[in-house]
Amino acid sequence: MIVLGFESSCDETGVALVCTEKGLLSHALHTQVAMHAAYGGVVPELASRDHVRRVIPLTRQVLSDANLSLQDVGAIAYTAGPGLAGALLVGASVAQSLAWSLSLPAIAIHHLEGHLLSPRLADPRPDFPFVALLVSGGHTQLMRVDDVGQYSLLGETMDDAAGEAFDKTAKLLGLGYPGGPALAKLAEQGDPTIISLPRPMLHSGNLDFSFSGLKTAVLTRLKDAQALSHVSETLSADLAAATQEAIVDVLVAKSIAALDQTGLKRLVVAGGVGANRALRQKLAVALKKRKAEVFFPPLELCTDNGAMIAFAAAQRIVRGLVDLSDQQHGFDVKPRWELAAI
Ligand code: ATP
Ligand code: MG
Ligand code: FE
């Protein structure tokens, strides 16, 4: 069966076609990063309006790229939450109206389920069960994943998400929005050993995280340097390198602790920070030592996209978790929604 999927939870409009047998057929993405950059962050109303503009052209594009028409589609999936309410409503209403007009089932997908199953779009594909490290702009969680739809929370951040820590530190360093990739790039020129930053909750004895103190520590360093007129490109690069290393160290240590606690040997990394090269390298080395395996989504599918939403729905269909005869097309989005509760 062919699934058409829509993602519109934040600032990316993503549309994709996934076949339950053959996998990803086509996907298209429009990112609003340039539009929001002038404001230093996502402006919800602008995000919703832009989703409205992009969603139909992107749908035409994925159909044409896969050489298919709407008549070939067997089910329609969309991100129902969590995310920005207005943005979610765009994807939900387009998906529900299309499904209604074509007499197809509409499948509401949890955005984080999309992220955490997305490494199964890569080759080799991780089998269940596994530990998932979900590191995105809004979430930092360790989950035990026993199968599609079977998720239990092992630990999560008490405050900022890892992606948020990258973004906020990048902002302090004047790197613009979104800062994660920019901070990672600057970090390559810096020396992480010059400035020592805290590793929050490294020894907390549980699998929770805290990242908000990190940006405060960076801010303090910057203020000290500013007072002495010592802010230089070298200092910025060293701070970027130190920040990245502090975040990565904690993520790696807690991931290993989660594998120890669960006795599992597979770690799956998902979400935008999963694109970070330092994290990928350190995890690969640390897990090899422990004879465990680590899996990542294809690089382009780490951040938000439609492929992960269509793919999550396809896996739910294959597992018999979707009532395909359900033709109820009323809908609701869930801006706040716990993954473990689905
Ligand atoms: P959520 O999925 O929690 O709702 P989101 O959808 O905004 O949040 P994603 O799209 O998964 O999050 O990821 C975006 C985040 O990933 C941003 O915080 C961004 O800075 C970060 N990010 C992307 N690439 C990198 C990188 N190479 N290094 C570090 N962080 C990165
Ligand atoms: Mg985004
Ligand atoms: Fe996301």
Q: Is the domain of 162 the same as that of 266? A: yes
Judge whether 167 lies within some domain.
yes
Residue 74: closest CA among 18, 141, 31: 18
Calculate how far, in angstroms, residue 266's C-alpha sits from the geometric centre of ligand 2: 27
Residue 91: closest CA among 160, 5, 175: 5
What is the reported pLDDT for 166?
A: 96
Residue 87: closest CA among 121, 149, 38, 138: 138
What is the reported pLDDT for 229?
A: 77
- Look up the CATH number of the domain holding residue 14: 3.30.420.40
Calculate how far, in angstroms, residue 187's C-alpha sits from the geometric centre of ligand 3: 23
Q: Is the domain of 204 the same as that of 284? A: yes
Query: In the numeric block, which tokens belong to residue 307?
Result: 């492929």
Q: What is the pLDDT along the chain (342 residues), one digit of tens a residue?
A: 999 999 999 999 999 999 999 999 999 999 999 999 888 889 999 999 999 999 999 999 999 999 999 999 999 999 999 999 999 999 999 999 999 999 999 999 999 999 999 999 999 999 999 999 999 999 999 999 999 999 999 999 999 999 999 999 999 999 987 899 999 999 999 999 999 999 999 999 999 999 999 999 999 999 988 877 777 889 999 999 999 999 999 999 999 999 999 999 999 999 999 999 999 999 999 999 999 999 999 999 999 999 999 999 999 999 999 999 877 777 789 999 999 878
pLDDT one-digit tens code per residue, 236-272: 999 999 999 999 999 999 999 999 999 999 999 999 9
Can you tell me which atom of ligand 1 is nearest the CA of 178? 20
Q: Say how far apart CA 234 and CA 84 lie, in whole Å.
A: 38
Residues with CB under 6 A from ligand 1: 10, 83, 111, 115, 136-139, 163, 166-167, 178-181, 184, 271-273, 275-276, 303-304
What is the reported pLDDT for 28?
A: 98
Can you tell me which atom of ligand 1 is nearest the CA of 184? 28
Q: Is the pTM of this model over 0.90?
A: yes
Q: Please choose from 10, 143, 273 the residue to mutate so as to test ligand 1's pocket, defined by most ligand atoms within 8 A of CB.
A: 273
Q: Is the domain of 221 the same as that of 149? A: yes
Put the strands of the sheet holding 293-295 in their side by side order: 150-156, 140-147, 130-135, 266-270, 293-295
Range(s) of the domain holding residue 150: 129-296
Calculate how far, in angstroms, residue 136's C-alpha sits from the geometric centre of ligand 2: 9
Work out how many domains the chain is built from and give that number.
Answer: 2
Judge whether 122 lies within some domain.
no
Q: Is the domain of 330 the same as that of 230? A: no
Closest residue by CA, ligand 1 atom 29: 180
Question: Which residues, including other chains, have CB under 8 Å from residue 332's CB and lie 6 or more apart?
Answer: 80
What is the reported pLDDT for 320?
A: 96
Q: Say how far apart CA 160 and CA 179 lie, in whole Å.
A: 14
What is the reported pLDDT for 232?
A: 85
Q: Say how far apart CA 155 and CA 42 lie, in whole Å.
A: 27
Q: Say how far apart CA 47 and CA 36 lie, in whole Å.
A: 8
Q: Which ligand places an atom closest to the C-alpha of 308?
A: 3
Q: Is the domain of 16 the same as that of 81? A: yes
Can you tell me which atom of ligand 1 is nearest the CA of 111? 2
What is the reported pLDDT for 228?
A: 79
Q: Is the domain of 277 the same as that of 310? A: no
Beta strands in the chain (DSSP E): 2-7, 12-19, 23-31, 75-81, 106-110, 130-135, 140-147, 150-156, 266-270, 293-295
What is the reported pLDDT for 72?
A: 98
Q: Is 227 exposed, middle or buried (0-12, 13-18, 19+ CB in 10 A)?
A: exposed
Q: Is the domain of 254 the same as that of 178? A: yes
Calculate how far, in angstroms, residue 243's C-alpha sits from the geometric centre of ligand 2: 21
Q: Is the domain of 83 the same as that of 145? A: no
What is the reported pLDDT for 341?
A: 77
User: β-strand 130-135 against 266-270: which pairing, if any?
Assistant: parallel
Can you tell me which atom of ligand 1 is nearest the CA of 162? 18
Calculate how far, in angstroms, residue 132's C-alpha sits from the geometric centre of ligand 3: 14
Asked if 130 contacts 145 with a C-beta cutoff of 8 angstroms, the reply is: yes
